[in-house]
């Protein structure tokens, strides 16, 4: 089988990444299910270790985002929550030879939260059925917005799905969650992470930066005069390339000083930060996500069971 620019070998790598990403996500859900008090750090470690122990690498730090936090939240040691009501998002990515699968689920507790999460999941399933070669991605955004509003919810306008490429989590094209007059088209052989985010009607329908950044990626490789920082910069590149990483991945090797060193690399302009993204009015946010390969017919959903 050949799909666009993708041959059998590449498709197999995407399928393996998708299978492990999905199983890692399912593991996270199972670990959360029986608990009200959740150690977020231990949860992330178990999810990421599952990926590593099954022939893949995390494509980005496991994101666990609670309630009004929509994305880019990854825990540090000692982070615990009491989760009785609300929306807990788990977002997991796995990678095989640079080929990335990205998926997410929302765990809902409380009637109103279960309802929005069910609508969110249904919208994702409906969107996936729309994905075809040469589709205008703006049509997807229009559909998500119309369906969300039909049920009395709002999509998050400034969070989108994204084109995925080898070693590139965000490869240039976006899949909007609101109507867009000017949008890209999707073509056979391209791979997309599709992720509608919904919030309640009293929310702003957009996110802003809030809280410290715990996820970073390298932005340049120029030599640094400080030998220790230069060594750290090279280590980050050798381990993670230009993909997102978190200082907690380096804590065992560098100790607590890693957090100071990362802040210094950021100050010098060697790192991009990804601050937590929070709903502008504090409304709770739901998210579901799959990664698909676009074909001339039905898409291949690589993260589906």
What pLDDT score does 211 carry? 83
The DSSP secondary structure of 152-178, one letter per residue, reads TEEE-TT--EEEEBTTBSS-S-EE-SS
Q: Give catalytic residues, as residue numbers.
A: 91, 102, 162, 170, 195, 289
Q: How many other CB atoms sit within 10 Å of the CB of residue 154?
A: 23
Hey, what's the torsion of the CAs at 219, 223, 227, 230, to 10 degrees? Answer: 20
Q: Smallest Cα–Cα separation from 20: which of 76, 134, 102, 105? A: 102
List the CATH code of the domain at 213-276.
1.10.10.10
Write down the pLDDT at residue 3.
Answer: 66
Q: Per residue in 82-136, pLDDT tens?
A: 999 999 999 999 999 999 999 999 999 999 999 999 999 999 999 999 999 999 9
Whether 4 has a pLDDT exceeding 80, the answer reads: no
> How do residues 246-278 score in pLDDT, each as one tens digit?
999 999 999 999 999 999 999 999 999 999 999
pTM above 0.85, yes or no: yes
Q: What is the pLDDT of residues 70-82, one digit of tens each?
A: 999 999 999 999 9
Cα separation, 56 vs 285, in Å, equals 29
- 7 pLDDT more than 90: no
The correct answer on CATH 3.90.230.10 for the domain covering 8-209+278-301 is yes
SS3 85: coil
Q: In the predicted model, is pLDDT for residue 1 greater than 60? A: no
pLDDT at 6 over 80: no
Task: Break the chain into its structural domains and give their ranges.
Answer: 8-209+278-301, 213-276
**pLDDT tens-digit map of 180-204:** 888 899 999 999 999 999 999 999 9
Say yes or no to pLDDT of 288 above 90: yes
3-class DSSP state of 106 = strand
């Amino acid at each position: 089988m050949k799909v666009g620019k993708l041959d059998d070998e590449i498709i197999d790598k995407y399928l393996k990444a998708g299978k492990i990403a999905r199983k890692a996500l399912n593991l996270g859900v199972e670990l959360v299910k029986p608990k009200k008090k959740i150690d977020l750090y231990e949860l992330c470690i178990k999810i990421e270790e599952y990926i590593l122990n099954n022939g893949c690498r995390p494509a980005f730090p496991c994101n666990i985002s609670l309630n009004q936090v929509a994305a880019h939240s990854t825990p540090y040691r000692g982070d615990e929550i009491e989760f009785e009501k609300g929306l807990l998002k788990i977002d997991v990515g796995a990678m095989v030879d640079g080929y990335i699968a990205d998926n997410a689920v929302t765990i809902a507790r409380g009637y109103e939260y279960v309802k929005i999460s069910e609508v969110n999941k249904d919208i994702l399933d409906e969107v996936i059925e729309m994905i075809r070669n040469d589709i205008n991605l703006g049509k997807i955004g229009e559909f998500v917005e119309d369906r969300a509003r039909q049920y009395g919810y709002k999509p998050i306008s400034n969070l989108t799905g994204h084109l995925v490429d080898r070693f590139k989590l965000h490869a240039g094209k976006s899949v909007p969650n609101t109507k867009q007059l000017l949008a890209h088209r999707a073509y056979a052989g391209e791979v997309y992470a599709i992720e509608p985010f919904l919030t309640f009607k009293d929310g702003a329908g957009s996110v802003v930066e809030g809280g410290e950044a715990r996820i970073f990626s390298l932005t340049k490789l120029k030599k640094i005069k400080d030998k220790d920082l230069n060594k750290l910069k090279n280590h980050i590149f050798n381990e993670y390339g230009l993909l997102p990483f978190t200082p907690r991945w380096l804590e065992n090797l560098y100790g607590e000083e890693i957090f100071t060193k990362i802040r210094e690399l950021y100050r010098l302009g060697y790192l991009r930060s990804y601050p937590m993204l929070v709903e502008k009015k504090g409304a709770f946010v739901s998210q579901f996500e799959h990664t698909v390969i676009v074909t001339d017919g039905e898409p291949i959903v690589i993260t589906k069971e």
